[in-house]
Structure 1
Amino acid sequence: MQITNYIPEVITKFKCMDSLGHAAPYGSGHINDSFLVKSENPTGPHYLLQRINTSIFSNVEGLTENMLQVTAHLKAKLADGSGDPLKEVMTLIPTHDGKYYHQDPAGNYWRMLHFLSDTRSYDMVSTEKQAYEGGKAFGKFQSMLSDFPSEVLYEVIPDFHNIKFRLAQLQESIERNLAGRLNTVREELALVKQHADAMLYFQQAETAANLPKRVTHNDTKFNNVLLDSNDEAQCVIDLETVMEGYVAYDFGDAIRTIINTASEDEADLQKINLNLPLFQAYTKGYLENAAGFLTDLEVQSLIKGVLLFPYMQGVRFLTDHLNGDTYYKIKFANHNLQRARAQFQLFRMLHEKAPLLQEIIQTEISNLKTLPAHG
């Protein structure tokens, strides 16, 4: 039975305000199955119905509780008149039995949210304005949650951004060599080994003792920001991976997807360059909203997050290649190796330009400190 056959019955389990009509597939996400469910009333409200991918998110209750706590905190911050809680924060819809998810007879888990009309998202950043708005969105998200006790959140995906864990996975794949590909990746493994110690910054005892852990989004690609009709940031979405982490994780992951002039799996490494204006625009927007709560050490750690994420993503692609392509979907032979090489090339370029990138970060911080106070 196709999952769409369950939708009419699933819809009835949620407390919706109007009678609902047809459900149509929606969005470009690769994890959950999403459907736009329109009200029979043309003026809405409309809803977003999602089937949760339990192969990745095994604890639906823990994930949902994280989302409820975080969205409640965000809404409370905006309730003082500084924003619109209904437009700027995702709103989960309860079921008739008081839960915020429903399990159908086949075992599928579903949730429903208010659909935010008159918004748009982009898979790729093409302008400095967009990069700036993306930075503002994630900076504001972190800022509003900077006083939330992050330690109470459930760890949705253990060791998600733990490079020590990812390197251990790679080492296991080397030892097992399941696909017989080890001799073809010697150059890539040499690069991994060369920089491994420096990449362990966030796992060092001194870092753990001095760098604050915060609520982090952990999936800061640009299409997780909804923009309004003026292309200005309105809402951060896709909160499944919200959990405790370092702010540099979110910053580094966003930069990885913004600064690259080529695709994530570009075969021609000569096409991979750094779009510095987009980096500066994102950094400016981010720091305008985040600088007020960041410690000096957190600001210094941002560049380490920028270097970590292409390195770590390359390690993950390389591991999957050695394992025989069991995690990431591939479109052709050696696709994961091509992805890994592209990410390592991006890492090389970021490593070379790290002093310049750090200078841009410090310049933006200095500019904020010299701005006149508003009375």
Structure 2
Amino acid sequence: MELSIAKEIIEAYGFTADNVSLQQIGSGHINRTYLLSSLKDNKKYILQNVNAEIFKDPSAIANNIKIVADYLKTHSPEYLFPAPITTLNGDLMAHYNNEYWRLLPFVDNTLAFDTLSDTKQAYEAAKQFGKLSRLLNEFNTSALTITIPGFHDLAWRYEQFTFALNEATINLKANPKEIIETALHYHFIVDYFRSFEHSKEFPDRVMHHDTKISNVLLNASTNIGVCVIDLDTLMPGKFISDLGDMIRTYICAFSENETDLNKVKIRLPYFEATVKGYLAEMSTILTPTEKELILFSGKYIVYMQALRFLTDYLNGNIYYPITYATQNLDRAKNQFKLLSELFENEKILQGIIDECLS
């Protein structure tokens, strides 16, 4: 085994360094992920390091997943929920030298995509994320621990932005003056959210909170959805977290790293496929208020992400990895362009939603 993984981690799961092979996989920036192949029986597993710098309490993640896995095993035993395998000692994670590792079953004949190339992929991914929340509709969300406090709290993200703005140097604030004005202009999104935040018609649900396309497995031959993965942020939240993040990441052909803003456009077929896929599972349980907020969910998450990029730029780029000094500023510009597209195409998009609901 050539990769620098402590033998104690491997041994905690009953393997030794000389009877496994390891290959680093995945495109995530938070956790390190490896394909572990047993040389004894040719079985495959996913070995993943949980980043304790981001997730301050890895045991809370493990407990959340176990609680949900136990619930689904009882209430939806046919549902594929790839929960971690316990160590030889029965622990939910292997802990050694201040590192936390988990071993997951490998799901055969599946693929995880980094980018969408077909509307069917968007539909199936949205359907899978919706299915997980639907199956957990009766689950007591208070049983779960918040693994990242304030993760999708737009009001708090706005406060972080204004604090960074007040603390930033004159030079840092001079370059993005127009974008700062744009960020301040869209504050009404925060106010609108606050107007119904505590409504009974806007309940807490079990949300994945990170619904990018690479966090769902599709059948390698048919592209039909199989299951969702990377459950670190599985915790209580609002439906807008999942659907909004899908709208943000599925409807544009280019990521937030695209600097040619003329390319940042909404792909209407992908928007329709995403909404249809999500509603295929969630339409029967969403409240009337939630259904009215489908388009708003995209605005909410896109605005929040724009603020986070801009805040990081004003803070001196301390959170998101960058390859050049103004990359976070460019990312913020990209997201504000996408936000403007949602507003400019509002009537068309709402028409698609209304048709999907009917």
Q: TM-score, normalised by structure 1?
A: 0.90
Q: CA deviation at 1:219?
A: 0.1
CA contact 2:240–2:294 (8 Å) conserved in 1: yes
Q: CA deviation at 1:167?
A: 0.9
Counterpart of 1:213?
204
Equivalent residues in 2 for 1:293-332 (5 A)? 293-332=285-324
- Is the Cα contact below 8 Å between 2:189 and 2:300 reproduced in 1? no
Report the CA distance shift for 1:69/1:343 in structure 2 as closer, same or farther (over 3 A): same
Structure 1 position 59 matched with structure 2 position 57: yes
2:103 corresponds to = 112
Distance in 2 of aligned mates of 1:323 and 1:288? 41
**Residues 1:347 and 2:343 aligned together:** no
Question: Which of 266, 270, 274 is equivalent to 1:282?
Answer: 274
Cα deviation code 1:249-274 (max 9, x no counterpart): 10010110011132212211111111
Query: Could you tell me how far apart the structure 1 residues matched to 2:81 and 2:46 are?
Result: 14
Name the counterpart of 1:72. Answer: 70
User: What CA distance in whole angstroms lies between the structure 2 residues aligned with 1:97 and 1:289?
Assistant: 38
**Which residue does the alignment assign to 1:123?**
114
Question: CA offset at residue 277 of structure 1?
Answer: 0.2
2: distance between equivalents of 1:329 and 1:307? 24
- SS of aligned partner of 2:236: strand
Determine if contact 2:283/2:357 at 8 Å carries over to the other structure.
yes
Q: How many residues align?
A: 354
User: Structure 2: which 5+ residue stretches go unaligned?
Assistant: none
Residue aligning to 1:184? 175
How big is each residue's C-alpha offset from its partner over 1:219-249, in whole Å with a ceiling of 9 and x where there is no partner?
0001111011311100100000011111111
Q: Which residue pairs with 1:34 in the alignment?
A: 33
Does 1:169 find its partner at 2:160?
yes
Counterparts of 1:78 and 1:29, CA distance in 2: 29
For 1:15 and 1:67, locate their aligned partners in 2 and report how far apart those are by CA, in whole Å: 22
Question: Of 85, 88, 94, which residue of structure 2 is paired with 1:93?
Answer: 85
The 8 Å contact of residues 262 and 271 in structure 1, kept in 2 or not, is answered as yes
Cα deviation for residue 313 of structure 1 reads 0.7
Shift in alpha-carbon separation, 1:41–1:97, aligned structure 2, 3 A: closer
Say whether residues 1:198 and 2:198 are aligned partners: no
How big is the shift at 1:122? 0.6
TM-score, scaled to structure 2: 0.94
Classify the secondary structure of the residue corresponding to 2:180: helix
Distance 2:19 2:288 in 1: 51
Matching residue's letter, 1:340: A
2: CA distance between counterparts of 1:334 and 1:203? 32
Q: In the aligned structure 1, how far is the partner of 2:145 from the partner of 2:266? A: 36
Deviation track 1:39-75 (CA, whole Å, cap 9, x = no partner) reads: 224552x211111100000101111111111222233
Secondary structure at the counterpart of residue 12 of structure 1: helix
Post-superposition offset of 1:327: 0.7
Between the aligned partners of 2:142 and 2:19, the Cα distance in structure 1 is 39
- The residue that corresponds to 2:8 in the other structure is 9
Distance of aligned partners of 1:161 and 1:95 in 2 relative to their CA distance in 1, 3 Å threshold: same
Q: Report what 1:372 is aligned to.
A: none
Q: Once superposed, what is the RMSD of the aligned Cα atoms? A: 1.9
Q: 2:218 aligns with which of 214, 227, 237?
A: 227
| In 2, Cα distance between equivalents of 1:250 and 1:202 | 16
Q: Which amino acid aligns with 1:279?
A: F
- Offset, 1:178: 4.4
* 1:3 Cα deviation from its structure 2 partner: 10
The DSSP-based 3-state class of the residue aligned with 1:298 is helix
Asked if structure 2 preserves the Cα contact closer than 8 Å seen for 1:90 and 1:237, the reply is yes
Secondary structure, aligned partner of 1:310: helix
Structure 1 vs Structure 2: percent identity of aligned residues? Answer: 35
- SS across alignment from 1:343: helix
SS of 2:84's partner is coil
Instruction: Give how far 1:4 is off.
Output: 3.6
**How far did 1:15 drift?**
5.5
What is the CA–CA distance in structure 1 between the aligned matches of 2:269 and 2:282, rounded to whole Å?
20
Q: Aligned AA for 1:281?
A: A
1:160 paired with 2:158, answer no
Alpha-carbon distance in structure 1 between the residues aligned to 2:260 and 2:288: 38
Find the aligned partners of 1:258 and 1:143 in 2 and give their Cα distance: 21
The answer as to whether partners of 2:312 and 2:328 remain within 8 angstroms in 1 is yes
Q: 1:252 aligns with which of 244, 248, 262?
A: 244
